[in-house]
Amino acid sequence: MTRFLVRRVLLGLVVLWALVSVVFVMFFVAPHDVARLIAGRQASPDTVAAVKRRLGLDRPVLDQYGTYLGHLVKGNLGYSFYNSSSVRSLIWARVPVTFSLAIGGAVLWLLIGVASGVIAATRPRSWRDRAVTVFALVFYSMPAFLLGVIFLYFLFFRLHLAGITFFPGSGYVALSANPLAWAQHLLLPWLTIALVTAATYSRLTRAAMLDVLGEDYIRTARAKGLRERRVVYRHALRSALTPVVTQFGIDLGTLLGGVIIVENIFGLPGLGQLAVLSVTQQDQPVIIGTVVLASACIVVANIAVDACYALLDSRVRVH
């Protein structure tokens, strides 16, 4: 088990190194004149030269690459071109918002998706199965921005007109400041993410459960007189979770990198909103910082998926 995890961690580090190298090439090598892009089209040659010296762009590419990697290892992401603030501080201030949104939404979509998939698989072709299928098709085909706007209209705007102010329309309250207000401000964004994503998990769980429930060892467990609940949840569900874990690692890693659409709809000051703002302002250090962080989140999520594989199925550990 330990050797398996060590190999996966080393592979993840190699992948992360490749990703940050691609980012370096995209932002510092591919453009013909990075200093000109940073200084602006109307900048004088002296200003462009000063930008090159300040950022070390007048040095050889390999020296720039070494400095770039050294700064990343130390957590030094540079300073914003727009307000001269530390990129690390800008990102760190918004990480709790995105993490709160991602983790809360992930818990909801797992509960909804897996539970509905199990119900549909244990009662195939019943009204429950058909209801779950309709639920999955409706929300799978609905874009997140559309569902978010619907929630804002009916659960915020219309209820506020009726004097019911339970659902805030925007903003964020820190968990440490007021846990109840924290959850209240994130409830609509959580539901928006969870319902759209849970549709995929519902179909994945149903298909995997139907395959597993037809296996010989399931029939043997039933023939031994085990209760149906134990057969379904102790034996079948554990084997059926493999594709769910795969999808969960990808989705959670992407969400932790920044939920751009949902954060902007509900006015949440998270990493997604920061990414949009930095692109609009052409703030290159902030763009690089958000891209590197998103890449790191996806790599870490995939390592966690491999670890879950090893726990769910011991045969994976030997590969």
Q: Which of 44, 92, 142, 134 is nearest to 271 (CA)?
A: 92
Q: Which pLDDT belongs to residue 64?
A: 79
Could you tell me the fold of the domain covering 87-318? MetI-like fold (1.10.3720)
The pLDDT confidence band at residue 315, using thresholds 50, 70 and 90, is low
Residues 6+ apart with CB under 8 A from 182: 100, 172, 173, 174, 175
Q: Which pLDDT belongs to residue 32?
A: 60
Question: Is the per-residue pLDDT at 161 higher than 80?
Answer: yes
- CA-CA distances (angstroms) from residue 310 to 1, 83, 243, 298? 7, 46, 13, 19
Highest mean pLDDT among 68-72, 140-144, 150-154, 259-263: 150-154
Question: Is the per-residue pLDDT at 79 higher than 60?
Answer: yes
| Model confidence pLDDT, tens digit, residues 102-132 | 899 999 999 999 999 999 988 888 898 899 9
Question: Is the per-residue pLDDT at 39 higher than 70?
Answer: no
Task: Give the residue extent of every domain in the chain.
Answer: 2-73, 87-318
| Model confidence pLDDT, tens digit, residues 173-194 | 988 889 999 999 999 999 999 9
Q: Partners of 86 in the beta sheet?
A: 79
Tokens, residue 305: 């998926």
Identity at 24, one-letter amino acid code: F
